[in-house]
Amino acid sequence: MKTILLTGAGGGVGTFMRAELKGRYKLRLSDRSPLAECGPDEEFVQADLTDMDATRKAVAGVDGIIHLGGYSVEADWDTIHTANFIGTYNLYEAARLEGAKRVIFASSNHAVGFHERTNTIDHTTAPRPDSRYGLSKAFGESLSSLYADKYGVESMCIRIGNVGTEPIDVRRMSIWLSPRDLAQLVCIGLDHPDIKYEIVYGMSDNARSWWDNSNATRLGYKPQDKSEDFAEQILATKTSDTGNLIGDLKQGGDFVTFEAVDDPFKPGLK
Ligand SMILES: NC(=O)c1ccc[n+]([C@@H]2O[C@H](COP(=O)([O-])OP(=O)(O)OC[C@H]3O[C@@H](n4cnc5c(N)ncnc54)[C@H](O)[C@@H]3O)[C@@H](O)[C@H]2O)c1
């Protein structure tokens, strides 16, 4: 059994992944805060990813890494810079120094959030971040590319939509990802023999999607869950998920409108 480091193991997605990946890998769980308990085939190594020595200790001896640890929504620059830029840099540098072969990077739909919902984008589409948070995910994707090309640290970046047991609103019907479908993508990322650097979209089988996930399909991904199964109940109560026109037009939803001005190109506006 491979030993896999799961950063951010105490978070929402980390908790889903522990359950989904049980029995498939030996999991080394890591977070900056202690976890309540470990199960069989699990161990815990506490590490703040901003601490390079602690990060190297967490990475030492693992075969692969699922990198979830960081700040998972929009925040001020210091918060995002520390957790997501420095933390992700340290994680990749530790992977290089400790010889970890493969990293799964939890990127986000917010790396491409300024694309219109009417545009179908794929893994070749350049980032259009909608926030400092989205920018940190675009940085992580570029960092992954650099560490693959220059140092042979292989990566799969998953532009995750929204992970949960069911989609929660209109926008999430396009980007929803069930925990078992995420686990399938993660296993492909960790075990596929030919991955050097790949971007895929983290979504289930969503009929209303604005993503072309053919790169995931090429790698063998067959999602098991469909957001359309929840459409009737969602559409019965909700039509707009952001409550504003711009947010409803853009893939990133209300992240696009945080701190936004009415017309960013108007002369004199800063
Ligand atoms: N939840 C989603 O639907 C979703 C969507 C897109 C991307 N993602 C990404 O997936 C990852 C996990 O998301 P989540 O919803 O579980 O987030 P979460 O906020 O629930 O969990 C994040 C975990 O990271 C840990 N962490 C934060 N800063 C750290 C640091 N400096 N050192 C070590 N650990 C640190 C936190 O303690 C927490 O346990 C995140 O990177 C997030 O950006 C999640």
Per-residue pLDDT band at 268 (split at 50, 70, 90): low
- Please report the sign of the dihedral spanned by the C-alpha atoms of residue 52, residue 55, residue 57, residue 60: negative
Is the overall model pTM greater than 0.95, yes or no? yes
Is 133 a known active-site residue?
yes
In this structure, what CATH number is given to the domain that contains residue 172?
Answer: 3.40.50.720
Measure CA 46 to chain center: 21
Residue 38 lies in a domain: yes
pLDDT tens for residues 11-53?
999 999 999 999 999 999 999 999 989 999 999 999 999 999 9
Q: Which residues contact 138 (CB under 8 A, 6 or more apart)?
A: 107, 111, 127, 129
For residue 171, is pLDDT > 70? Answer: yes
Domain range for residue 50?
Answer: 3-256
Cα(18) to ligand 1 centroid in Å equals: 14
Of all protein residues, whose CA lies closest to atom 38 belonging to ligand 1?
Answer: 11
Q: Could you give the 3-state DSSP secondary structure of residue 249? A: helix
Q: Based on the structure, what is the number of domains in the chain?
A: 1
Instruction: Average the pLDDT over 66-84 and give the result.
Output: 98
For residue 269, is pLDDT > 60? Answer: no
Does the beta carbon of 26 lie inside 6 Å of ligand 1?
A: no
For residue 267, is pLDDT > 70? Answer: no
Residue 269 lies in a domain: no
Residue 140 lies in a domain: yes
Residue 43 lies in a domain: yes
